[in-house]
Structure formats: C-alpha cells, structure tokens
Chain A
Amino acid sequence: NAGVTQTPKFQVLKTGQSMTLQCAQDMNHEYMSWYRQDPGMGLRLIHYSVGAGITDQGEVPNGYNVSRSTTEDFPLRLLSAAPSQTSVYFCASSPIQGAGETQYFGPGTRLLVL
C-alpha cells in the first residue's frame, strides 16, 4: 500500500494563478481532509470529506475548493492564489471522522505564492 500520496511536492505560483493539489489514498478510507501548516502555528483544517460526494468546510476554507468524486481522491483547488496561501499543505485520511488515532498524513505539498 502507498498510503496517502500527494502531488506535487513543491510548487511556485504567481498571484492570481490557479492550481490543484492532488491527494490520493489506497486504504479505502471514508474520511479525508486537508490541512495547512504555517510557522508557529498548529495544523489548521481547510476542508474535509466524510465520503464520496460529501464535503464540508473546516477552520480556514476561504480561497480553497474541494470535491470528492471517488473514495480514493480528494483534490484541493486554489482558484486565484494569494501570497497568504504560501504554506505547506497536508492531506490526511482515516477510516471514519473523529478517529484521529487512525489518521494517516501524506508527505505534504510546499506551496510558494509570489
């Protein structure tokens, strides 16, 4: 099993550009989520999904869109990148929501917005 995979590992964008961060898991987990990690702060939840076709906002959803068409994939879209979105993004999955002890994280995508 590959676990949780994320692509790309690193990306540089100009302000206003759009991009999609990819996340995939092969553990048949229902719950998937996106976090951002900023210096001096804990991980903050952006969006999450409790199953295919179901998504909801987390703590910091502004500027990001998500969709979940399959159990395996949970892409995160930046429609118009801003410098404030410079961060490291982690995707995570777990069998169910609220089971943090069974949550697996991907390796992260480091995003720089100029």
Chain B
Amino acid sequence: GQQLNQSPQSMFIQEGEDVSMNCTSSSIFNTWLWYKQEPGEGPVLLIALYKAGELTSNGRLTAQFGITRKDSFLNISASIPSDVGIYFCAGQVFNDMRFGAGTRLTVKP
C-alpha cells in the first residue's frame, strides 16, 4: 500500500526558530491529520484538516490542507525544547488511512 512522502526526515534547529515540514501523495485524501510522538509514547493528534485550502492553527502550530488534496504542510513557530519529537502526517479517505514516515525534530536550547 502507498505510504505518504514526508520531508524532511529530520531537522536540527535552534530554540526560537520556525520549522516547516510537509507530506505529499499521488492520491487524494479527504482528511489530513498531523500527530506528534514522544519517546516511549504513541502518536497524539495535533491538528485535523477537512477541506482543501483549509488553514488551521493550534497554538504555535499551523497546518494547511493542500489545494490539490494531495499534500499538507505543518509549521511550528518559535520552537521550544518541548517541541522535540517525531511528527507524523496521515491522510484519510473514507476508511483508508495512510501515514508518513515522520519528521524527527531536535531543538537545541
């Protein structure tokens, strides 16, 4: 089955910097989801997007549902040390849900 293409694979940034990551697919999705996973834990939902072009924020996080419905973007502004973790995208159409491989974020104080 097709997985999503998520990039970058990893990021090393300085505290206070902004972060951008994205997911692309050759298939159309009806819903895009962004999760964060911390060591030893399961993924936790950050943002859900339901409509092409939709821009949704959750605190310092902002995500967008691409116009083509084949991609999505996540931005984190003014990163802090607790942003460290792996960020996953997921695309869903009806009962089919596909995940990206994740972006591992490291924030240096």
Contacts and interface: CB of A to CB of B under 8 A. Distances in A.
Contacts of A44: 1, 3, 99
Main secondary structure on B side of the interface with A: strand
What size tier do the contact residues of chain B reach? 20 to 34
Main secondary structure on A side of the interface with B: loop
Interface string A96-114: 0110110111111000000
Contacts of A97: 95
B59 interface: no
B66 interface: no
B88 interface: yes
B102 A98 contact: no
Contacts of A45: 97
A105 B101 contact: no
B44 interface: yes
A82 B42 CA distance: 24
**A-B CB proximity, top 7 nearest:** A105-B42, A42-B99, A101-B48, A43-B99, A98-B95, A42-B3, A59-B1
Interface of B: 1, 3-4, 6, 9, 31, 33, 40-45, 48, 88, 90, 92, 94-95, 97-102
